[in-house]
Amino acid sequence: MIPELSNPSVCMRDPQRVQEILQSMVKAGSNTLQVISDFDMTLTRFAYNGKRCPTCHNILDNSQLITDDCKEQLKELLNTYYPIEIDSTRSVEEKLPLMVEWWTKAHELLVQQKIKKDMLALAVRESEAMLREGYQLFFDHLYEHSIPLLIFSAGIGDILEEVIRQANVFHPNVKVFSNYMDFDETGLLKAFKGELIHIYNKREGALLNTGHFQELRTRPNVLLMGDSLGDLTMADGVQDMENILKIGYLNDKVAERKQSYLDSYDIVLVEDETLEVPNAVLLYLT
Ligand code: TMP
Ligand code: MG
């Protein structure tokens, strides 16, 4: 039905079920559709020419805005906690407090760094952050068809917005739930605002934003995109959901994690650095 679903990167546990969901969604029409996507390593690339690409946090970690000493400490945190994030032998219950620990420690370090708001754009410009190939079509197509895109990220909202602004795709149909920085009157970072979003509390984050989902209640069909099993709960705030199609990027530790991704995502994209499949699905649905 969609030729791209035969791409070598595509794995599906139940292709028939995928076809059924797609058919129901086409029938309902694109004016009933909303897209909910994770940001880091879902809309952005995991690697380019064999080198890892940065997350929102990594953009700051690698920038001139923080001291070498702080860089060292953040790198240590990454080396400690990232392997836990992707460890398929540990349960979410076991990982959750450790992820809270990671985010809390990283944000504490960043707040000590006297980061200036007006330097963020430069840090992003000088970074190696890259949206996945096909991002322009993805963002522009959603905008042209007035389909709301919620970017739901445990990264840093200010950085994420700057990445999509610099790529000229921060259209009015895009809404962001993320961790936002709080600056003092002189423009120095003093804290992070609101409830912390980490990779395993997106459900709670969604439920705190019932107003947003209330506004979108005429759009009960959801295309969800993520790269972590924690991203699966991003749509938990959607009211009276009718259909959901879940596309998951499996970027790392493929052999160990493939089965769990196949069990939870309808379409799994293995080491696929492009938005080709989500774009093909969107074109089919609109
Ligand atoms: P996401 O929800 O947009 O994918 O963002 C979460 C990612 O951020 C997750 O994969 C871990 C990553 N991360 C860092 O790279 N450095 C950090 O210091 C922290 C706290 C998270
Ligand atoms: Mg992610």
Report pLDDT for 1: 84
DSSP string over the chain: --GGGGSTTEE-S-HHHHHHHHHHHHHH-GGGEEEEE--TTTTB-SEETTEEPP-HHHHHHTSTTS-HHHHHHHHHHHHHHHHHHT-TTS-HHHHHHHHHHHHHHHHHHHHTT--BGGGHHHHHHTS---BPBTHHHHHHHHHHTT--EEEEEEEEHHHHHHHHHHTT---TTEEEEEE-EEE-TTSBEEEE-SS---TT-HHHHHHTTHHHHHHTTT--EEEEEESSGGGGGTTTT-TT--EEEEEEEE-SSHHHHHHHHHHH-SEEEET--BSHHHHHHHHHH-
Amino acid 147: pLDDT? 98
CB of 237 closer than 6 A to ligand 1? no
Please give the distance, rounded to the nearest whole angstrom, from the Cα atom of residue 151 to the centre of ligand 1.
Answer: 14
| Averaged pLDDT, groups of 10, the chain, 286 residues long | 96 98 98 98 97 97 95 96 94 95 97 96 97 98 98 98 98 98 97 95 93 96 98 96 98 97 98 98 98
pLDDT (0 to 100) of residue 94 = 96
Q: With a threshold of 0.95, does the pTM exceed it?
A: yes
Instruction: Establish whether residue 57 lines the binding site of ligand 1, counting it when its CB lies within 6 angstroms of any ligand atom.
Output: yes
- To the query of whether residue 236 is one of the catalytic residues in this protein, the response is no
| Shortest-distance ligand to the CA of residue 41 | 2
221 CB within 6 A, ligand 1: no
The ligand minimizing its distance to the Cα of 157 is: 1
Confidence (pLDDT) at 103? 97
Active-site residue flag, 184: no
Here the ipTM equals 0.98
In the chain, the amino acid numbered 69 is D
Per-residue confidence (pLDDT) for residue 137, from 0 to 100: 98
Ligand 1 and 66: CB distance under 6 A: no
Pick the atom of ligand 1 nearest to 54's CA. 15
pLDDT given for residue 277 in this prediction: 98
Q: What's the pLDDT score for residue 99? A: 96
